[in-house]
A and B are shown apart, each in its own frame.
Chain A
Amino acid sequence: MKDTRRTRVVLGALLVVALAMITIDYRGGDDSPLRGLRDVGATVFGPVERVSAAVVRPVGDTFDSITDAPGERRRADRLERQNQRLREQLRALSLDKDRSAQLQRMLGTAGTGGYKVLAAQVISAGQGFEDTVTIDVGSRGGVTRDMTVMSADGLVGRVTRVGPATATVLLATDQTSSIGSRLEASKEIGIVQGRGRRGFGGGGGTPLRFQLLDATAPIAVGQRIVTLGSQGQRPYVPGVPIGVVERIDRSAGGLTRTAYVRPFVRFTSLDVVAVVVAPPKQDPRDALLPPKPPPPAPSTSPSAHPSATPTRGKRPEARPSGTKSPFTRPSRGD
């Protein structure tokens, strides 16, 4: 059949093209000539994903409300949103003195001045084996490569690729992710590595692995781990909570000691995250941001913490003026 022949020629050509792309992209690594293709992808699909995320959010909510108890979910969601900003403020300003002094000494940077954050929404997630998500802020919002991404609970990951309106975040649970980190009490340093997609690939409840560089250093179950901070605070800013040591591998003979860590963040249900925009810029995201007053959260929700309003009033500088608050998002719970 001549059709088969033609088909085979086309098949051969397509396979050659695919193999050539794999080769070029693989050899090129980070400066691969095919990076441009990804930029095209981000430019074309980014806005589509934003729209689709807005459309399909109710679907995800429905699914969540089936898996969780609906009332609990709604209430937790509302409280989470309220807590998010309070915690950001708290974390920015009341790093405990000890840690603050440590960081000052150790890094000598302005990192303790507070994280300047940019709230974002997760709009899509990666396929196959990679553990990545897309967030709905991009270069137009001032996001650049290698920024830390966190949520109200702790470290989420880092920005690996930036499109005009979207950015790709490599989650801490990805197997290619490794984060310099530190035990909170003993100040021992180590490396946190991901164990696979959404933590389920190899981990179950402990999707992170912590390797203590000093094998003789004391480590105990229940100790908390925070980021150590990278040089120049990129990709990871210091002091972001990562997780709790859940299990310690007692296998002897290694140069390092391994512990398994349960993260503070629930990677299966990432929603509102914050990109740490460091260093602070002169006019971050001002053009994009509609100047919204803080929503009347305490009045609309009966379970609001009574101290929310005074705290916000007392510490207006906790939130940089140009930074988008998570509260500008409509709360589905109300």
Chain B
Amino acid sequence: MLNPPEASPAGRAAVAAVVIVVTLILQVSVANRLPLPGGVQPDLVLLAVVALALVAGSMTGMVAGFLAGLAADIVPPADHTIGRYALVYCLIGYLCGVATAEMDRQSVVPFFAVAAGALAGTVLYAVTGMILGDPRAEWASVSRMVPPQVLYDVIASPFVVWAVLRATRRYERGERTRGDGLAVPAARYRAMSGRGGTL
């Protein structure tokens, strides 16, 4: 929220949209097919939404979350009630965006934020399933599948966050001269991703 969203909304939206679509396709065609122990896979889309929210604030986070969730609801193999991911990702995007504004002083925070977002998102999605009486989201399955999923999310989060930062940085570099002083979180992430890129 501290960064100037008016600089080039169209460019930011385009980058966010590309990030979401690419992540979603990678999710369904690569991540979901990995035969990982536990039968669950990291939720890359959720991680991308969290990363976008951390970079660009709660407004972008929740709109991106809503649209990403809607896309995840209708992308072909999906077979759950439409709107569940939209609801969950929208809330997570908002919360992570709000959280960024308040804790931009420590450099470990973002990774905790991503982990917390992953945990909250996974649990929230399971809860919506339980509320709707989805037979797949019975307590027996949920209790067995949520812990490994959160673990995988946390393991995958640095990579997704790094990739999202790289993608958004390309766009944000153009406005650095204008917005750098205000964009504390974004600047921090840019710095982090810069380090990551040189490794």
A interface residue numbers (CB < 8 A to B): 1, 3-4, 6-7, 10-11, 14-15, 17-22, 25-26, 32, 34, 37-38, 40-42, 45-46, 48-49, 52-53, 56, 59-60, 63, 67, 122-134, 160-161, 163, 166, 168-170, 174-176, 196-202, 268-269
Given A126-B78, A127-B32, does the pair A18, B25 have CB atoms closer than 8 Å? no
Return chain B residues, CB-CB under 8 Å to A15: 87, 90-91
Given A37-B74, A38-B74: A129 in contact with B82 (beta carbons within 8 A): no
- CB-based A-B contact count at 8 angstroms: 200
Residues A196 and B132 in contact, CB atoms below 8 Å apart: no
Q: Which residues of A contact B34 (CB under 8 A)?
A: 60, 63
B58 near A7 (CB under 8 angstroms)?
A: yes
Name the A residues within 8 Å of B21 (CB-CB): 48
Q: Which residues of A contact B175 (CB under 8 A)?
A: none
- Are B76 and A46 in contact, CB atoms less than 8 angstroms apart? yes
Residues 65-79 of B contacting A (Cβ, < 8 Å): 66, 69-79
Chain B interface: which size bin? 35 or more
In the complex, the answer to whether B77 meets A175 with C-beta atoms within 8 Å is: no
- Known pairs A22-B132, A49-B28, A129-B134 / 14 extra A-B pairs, C-beta < 8 Å: A11-B58, A22-B82, A25-B82, A45-B74, A45-B75, A49-B75, A60-B30, A124-B75, A127-B32, A130-B78, A163-B76, A175-B135, A196-B145, A202-B141
B residues sitting closer than 8 Å to A (CB atoms) are 1, 21, 24-30, 32-35, 37-41, 43, 45, 58-59, 62-63, 66, 69-87, 90-91, 94, 97, 125-126, 128-129, 132, 134-138, 140-142, 144-145
Of the candidates A11, A20, A268, the one whose C-beta lies within 8 Å of that of B62 is A11
Q: Which 6 A-B residue pairings sit nearest by Cβ, starting from the closest? A: A200-B39, A41-B74, A21-B83, A18-B87, A125-B32, A22-B83
Output the least CB separation between A334 and chain B (Å): 23
Shortest C-beta distance, A266 to chain B (Å), equals 9
Nearest Cβ on chain B to A172's Cβ, whole angstroms:
14
Overall SS of chain B's interface: helix
| Option from A4, A42, A63 in Cβ contact (under 8 Å) with B76 | A42
Q: Name A's interface SS.
A: helix
| Contact yes or no, B58 A127, CB < 8 A | no
Pair A123/B29 contact, Cβ less than 8 Å? yes
Q: Contact check: which of A1, A38, A56 meets B82 at CB < 8 Å?
A: A38
- With a CB–CB cut-off of 8 A, which chain A residues contact B142? 129
- In the complex, 22 of the A-B residue pairs with CB atoms within 8 angstroms, ordered by the A residue number, are A3-B59, A4-B1, A10-B59, A15-B91, A17-B86, A19-B87, A21-B73, A21-B83, A22-B84, A22-B87, A25-B81, A25-B83, A37-B82, A41-B78, A124-B28, A124-B76, A125-B29, A127-B77, A160-B79, A196-B141, A199-B39, A200-B39
Looking across the interface, which residue of chain B has its beta carbon closest to that of A57?
A: B29
Q: Which residues of B contact A129 (CB under 8 A)?
A: 80, 126, 129, 134, 136-137, 141-142, 145
Separation of A132 and B129 alpha carbons in the complex (Å): 16
Q: In the complex, what residue of chain A is closest to B21 when comparing beta carbons?
A: A48
Q: Which residue of A lies closest to B34 (CB)?
A: A63
Which listed residue (A10, A20, A127) contacts B78, Cβ 8 A?
A127
Contacts known (A123-B29, A201-B141); A18 close to B136, Cβ less than 8 A: no
Contact A14 B33 (CB under 8 A): no
